[in-house]
Amino acid sequence: MQTRMIDKQWSEKYPGVGKGPVATEPCISPEYFERERELIFRRHWLNVGRVDEIPTAGKYFVRELEVCKVSVLVVRGNDDQVRAFHNVCPHRGNTLVLNERGTCPGRFGCGFHSWAFTPEGKLAFVPDEENFFDLDKSQYGLSAINCEVWEGFIFINLAPMPKQSLREFLGGVATQLDNSPFSEMKLLKTYKVEENANWKTGLDAQNELYHLPFQHRYTIGDSFLLKDGKYCRFSNVNLYNYHSVWSCEYNPAHKPLPTEALLNRMDSALTNIRFDKRISDFDWYLIFPNMALLLFTGPSGDFFMTYNFWPLSVDRCLWEMRYHFPPAENVGQRLAQEWTIGQLRDTLMEDAFQHEKIQKGLASRACSHMVMQDEEITIRHFHEVLECEMAKV
């Protein structure tokens, strides 16, 4: 059964969201970017990974957040708790852990003077300790960063005292997706692309369907339901305070490629793990400020992806894409998963190319505003949230 698609329905559902042009200056202004460091990325919850990356005590990973000018050490302690610390030795400020990920061999040792710390962040050993002046080791543990976990997703907040818990911040997103089977799916592939584009330029370009029949006419074609056989439309939109989700349906009249058709006929290629709380065939969540969570149903069954757009400078960002699938139980499932990854990779390469072209056009200042239609309401909402946060002292 096809969804009835009504013109301009989202502005009627959310009349509080504006309809006018959106300024381009925030995507090209160095001054605006510098303010974003403090007002956006140092004040809000940021997704830095999943608990699957540190499954046992002592496992750790390091995330370099250039936008915040910090190195973050995320580690699972001997008490099984996931913690985050500044990756800095409190003795003289040396970078403590140099490897991107690994297992703590009992203690983290600083390469400068061999101060050593437990996975829980406590200072455990100081060489020549008696030569210090009343050194209280309990006062010189690693500097903790606020860290909370929701459904296996690890978030940090660099504010000294966050105004909201992670759960409060996620709001309706958490309510919608609580108890989803994220933990039953495993990371199968990661792509990282450094782009010559502002982080918002990349995020905006992914946060809509309007471009699909045109930019992706060869890679996606008519895979999604089209109005009048021409245009992609959302089947649903929900705005959750900071965040948003849009959904769309697959086109039942889509003519699959031969490989796709073969996979669709292979019953063994379908896994049994399902996102029961999925709104439609494809749901795209924007978790403010820079994360997207994508829920799919496909030839291999249900799976999910995450995007993180990490700012590097006003016109450079790192786009990180992660694919999570249920563990394959047979060759058919594994083949379907790899085919899906390859198809999406080609589509996202087209997107990455476009992000840089958009940024180049914006930087020319040929247009001071972006004109958006009803199907771009989630982009407009994102920019309104951003402007509201940037106005706070």
Tell me which of 15 and 219 has the higher pLDDT.
Answer: 15
**What does pTM read for this prediction?**
0.94
Q: What is the mean pLDDT of residues 50-77?
A: 98
Q: What is the mean pLDDT of residues 71-93?
A: 98
Tell me which of 329 and 300 has the higher pLDDT.
Answer: 329
Q: Say if residue 366 is exposed, middle or buried (CB neighbours under 10 Å; 0-12, 13-18, 19+).
A: exposed
The alpha carbons of the chain give a radius of gyration, in whole angstroms, of: 23
**H helices within 145-285, ranges in order?**
166-170, 172-177, 199-206, 212-215, 258-265
Which pLDDT score is estimated for 5? Answer: 62
Which pLDDT score is estimated for 351? Answer: 93
Which pLDDT score is estimated for 3? Answer: 52
pLDDT digits (tens, 9 = 90+) for 221-232: 777 777 777 888
Q: What is the mean pLDDT of residues 368-391?
A: 96
The torsion angle over the Cα atoms of residues 238, 239, 244 and 250, rounded to 10 degrees, is 20
Could you give the CA distance from residue 185 to residue 303 in angstroms, rounded to a whole number? 7
**% of the chain residues with pLDDT over 70:** 96
Which pLDDT score is estimated for 371? Answer: 95
Residue 178 has pLDDT above 80, yes or no: yes
DSSP result, 71-96: EEEEEE-TTS-EEEEESB-TTT--B-
Which pLDDT score is estimated for 268? Answer: 64
Tell me which of 355 and 231 has the higher pLDDT.
Answer: 355
Q: What is the mean pLDDT of residues 259-279?
A: 77
Residue 1 has pLDDT above 50, yes or no: no
Pick the CATH number of 48-168 from 2.102.10.10, 3.30.70.20, 1.10.1740.10, 2.170.190.11: 2.102.10.10
DSSP result, 246-303: EEE-B-TT----HHHHHHHH-GGG--S---TT--SSEEEEEETTTEEEEEEEETTEEE
Residue 63 has pLDDT above 80, yes or no: yes
Which pLDDT score is estimated for 265? Answer: 67
Which pLDDT score is estimated for 350? Answer: 93
Which pLDDT score is estimated for 248? Answer: 92
Q: What share of the chain is helix, strand, coil (3-state, %, to 5)?
A: 30, 30, 40
CATH architecture of 9-24+173-390: Alpha-Beta Complex (3.90)
Could you give the CA distance from residue 305 to residue 288 in angstroms, rounded to a whole number? 16
Tell me which of 1 and 197 has the higher pLDDT.
Answer: 197
The alpha carbon of 30 is separated from its chain's Cα centroid by a whole number of angstroms, namely 23
pLDDT digits (tens, 9 = 90+) for 109-155: 999 999 999 999 999 999 999 999 999 999 999 999 999 999 999 99
Nearest alpha carbon to residue 266 among 299, 223, 302, 303 = 299
Could you give the CA distance from residue 60 to residue 44 in angstroms, rounded to a whole number? 22
Half-sphere exposure of 350 (CA within 13 A, CB side): 16
For the chain, give the mean pLDDT.
93
Q: What is the mean pLDDT of residues 379-384?
A: 97
Q: Do domains 9-24+173-390 and 48-168 have the same CATH topology?
A: no
pLDDT digits (tens, 9 = 90+) for 207-219: 999 998 888 888 8
* Domain spans in the chain, listed from the N-terminal domain onward: 9-24+173-390, 48-168
pLDDT digits (tens, 9 = 90+) for 312-322: 999 999 999 99
3-state class of 220 per DSSP? coil
Tell me which of 257 and 80 has the higher pLDDT.
Answer: 80
